[in-house]
């Protein structure tokens, strides 16, 4: 099993999307939303990613308390199925009654090939608390 998306809904419930191997050698995609409100540990793990959104979006440090992380989307690419992700959240605006939607740049865990690449592509110390890919 590997996660494709982990998020909270507007109602505060947990929504998960993941892949599982099937009997035919392919992958089945499973998606569900829990009926119960998300647990405190889950909400805390998402909140801990706010500093990563701040860094990845190159926002000023004083924005940290205004960022609400709502989810993580995972991707897998290359021969080695290298994990990549984007963080999804919102920035509470001071002069508006709606939040600004934020989606971080896509970053990868390691380079897709031995040839390397641009270091700016790589995830750098993301706080994966509670989110094993």
Q: How far separated are the first and last CA of the chain, in Å rounded?
A: 9
Cβ(20)–Cβ(28) under 8 Å? Answer: yes
pLDDT band at residue 62 under the 50/70/90 scheme = very high
With 0.75 as the threshold, say if the pTM is over it.
Answer: yes
Average confidence score pLDDT of the chain: 88
**Maximum pairwise Cα distance, the chain:** 54
Residue spans of the domains in the chain: they are: 2-121
pLDDT band at residue 133 under the 50/70/90 scheme = very low
Higher pLDDT, 125 or 69: 69
């Amino acid at each position: 099993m590997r996660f494709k998306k982990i998020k909270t809904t507007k109602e505060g419930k947990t929504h998960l999307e993941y892949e599982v191997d099937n009997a035919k050698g392919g992958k089945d995609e499973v998606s569900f939303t829990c009926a119960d409100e998300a647990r405190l540990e889950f909400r805390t793990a998402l909140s801990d990613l706010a500093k990563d959104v701040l860094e990845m979006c190159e926002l000023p440090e004083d924005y940290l308390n205004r960022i609400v992380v709502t989810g993580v989307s995972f991707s897998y690419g290359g021969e080695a199925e290298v994990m990549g992700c984007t963080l999804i959240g919102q920035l509470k605006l001071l002069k508006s009654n709606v939040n600004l939607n934020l989606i971080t740049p896509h970053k990868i865990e390691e380079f897709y090939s031995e040839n390397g690449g641009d270091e700016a592509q790589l995830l750098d110390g993301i706080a994966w608390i509670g989110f094993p890919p």
